[in-house]
Amino acid sequence: MSGAQPIPQGDYVAATRHGGLIHTAGMTPRKDGRMIMTGPIRAGEIESFEAAVTLACANALAAAEAKLEPGETLAAILTMTVYVAAEEGFAEHSKVADIASAHLRRRLGSRGQCSRAAVGVASLPGRAPVEIQIVAAV
């Protein structure tokens, strides 16, 4: 397990499970309900957001793992969507998503390698710099 469960910031649950699939809500870089860093992410500053991206990904993974029954493991992360709050003209969304992909591979090995989308947005809840959602197979 990844650790503490993310605290929903509204009227939703952190993850849902249907059969062997788990879908997480979008997770931001919150620790104990508090945003550790705000955006937007600017060109040339991606490295300074590495901890925030890693925490958002860890929160998504923790939400997915919380839906496992005793003795179960995640068979694979199927897909990940990385929403990047970025300044106008920003074009390095995939580099931000690479940080999350690396975290999944560190934690799960080849089971963490997945398809993904990296999407630039004008803003995210709580002024988050990044929001990550995953779909996993049990």
Taking only the tens place, the pLDDT of each residue in 82-102 is 999 999 999 999 999 999 999
Across residues 35-59, what is the average pLDDT? 96
Query: What CATH number labels 15-137?
Result: 3.30.1330.40
- pLDDT value at 1 more than 60: no
- pLDDT value at 4 more than 70: no
pTM, two decimal places: 0.94
53-80: pLDDT as tens digits: 999 999 999 999 999 999 999 999 999 9
pLDDT of residue 10: 80
Domain boundaries, the chain: 15-137
- pLDDT value at 49 more than 80: yes
pLDDT of residue 130: 98
Quickly state the pLDDT bin for 12 (edges 50, 70, 90). confident
Phi, psi of 129 (to 5 degrees): -80, -25
- pLDDT value at 3 more than 60: no
pLDDT mean across residues, the chain:
94
CA distance 122 to 84: 8
Own/partner pairs, 104-111, CB within 8 angstroms, 24+ separation: 104/57, 104/61, 104/77, 104/80, 107/2, 107/58, 107/61, 108/74, 108/77, 111/74, 111/75, 111/76, 111/77
